[in-house]
Amino acid sequence: MTTVDARTATAPAADPSPKPLRADAERNRLRILDAARELFAQRGPDVTLDDIAAHAGVGVGTVYRRFANRDELLEAIVVEHMGHVQKRVQEALDGDDAWQGIVDLVTFVSESMATDRGLAAVMMRVDPCAASVERAKGSLTSSVDAVFERGRRTGVLRDDVVESDFFAFFCMVRSIADLTETSVPGTWRRYLSLLLDSIRADGTRTPLTVPALTKEQIHAAKHGGRGDCSGR
């Protein structure tokens, strides 16, 4: 629901320009956006506005004068980031080598998911979000479909693989990133590599360049944790 009135976007380049912000206000707006981007990526979709405000060095009140509510702020940064992803994905599609295109695309999207917890949450979300986010998701999906189509046509993909398998791959990558990304960044690449090998038409196997976790690393994994038991 949330009113989607989309204030001045990132730069003062925008809509029926209501009025230029005062210098200090604009500076703060930018700092809020930066803080939101950073914390949203790092801590996922559950960051509180209080945290964002504190991290930006402003009071919550300031955040609320600029953005009607949590969702509006987050929507802004998500749409922005998905735009970047979309652009890079298109580049991967423009190359000649069908298989390399698949690898590039899947790797790049995986990387986005692995390094940005919030973005991942939004992309994995299946039930509809704000319209602007849905639109971005849609165009990303069609790029993935296109690269898949090419892979299938040129015969580099195993023929029992389908579009939705990529979706599953992203989901798996995210789960690995969830517990290793802060402690041993990039571990997800090891498993993505295995997965990619498994869907190649010829049985070629890429050597594993990223090491597995050691026992110590497993125990060092995961953000702090509370110590009590039975989940949560």
Partner DNA sequence: CACCAAACGGAGAACTTGTCTCCACTTGCT
Partner DNA sequence: AGCAAGTGGAGACAAGTTCTCCGTTTGGTG
Interface positions with DNA (CB under 7 A): 21-25, 28, 46, 48-50, 57-62, 64-66, 69-70
- Do residues 173 and 166 touch, judged by C-beta distance below 8 A? no
Buried b (16+ CB within 10 A) or exposed e, 174-195: bebbbebbeebeebbbbbbbeb
Nearer to DNA, 60 or 195 (CB): 60
The alpha carbon of residue 37 and the mean position of all alpha carbons in its chain are separated, in whole angstroms, by: 11
Which residues make Cβ contacts (< 8 Å) with residue 106, sequence separation at least 6?
166, 169, 192, 196
Which residues make Cβ contacts (< 8 Å) with residue 8, sequence separation at least 6?
14, 15, 17, 18, 21
Using the rule CB under 8 A, is 68 a contact of a second copy?
no
What are the residues facing 215 on neighbouring strands?
none
Distance in Å, CB of 41 to a second copy, minimum: 12
Nearer to a second copy, 21 or 60 (CB): 60
**Options 46, 50, 97, 149; binder of a second copy; rule CB under 8 A:** 46
Distance in Å, CB of 192 to a second copy, minimum: 10
CB atoms within 10 A of CB 122: 21
Stretch that binds a second copy, among 51-59, 101-109, 149-157, 197-205 (CB under 8 A): 197-205
**Options 21, 60, 146, 172; binder of a second copy; rule CB under 8 A:** 172
Stretch that binds a second copy, among 52-60, 74-82, 84-92, 100-108 (CB under 8 A): 74-82
Distance in Å, CB of 53 to a second copy, minimum: 17
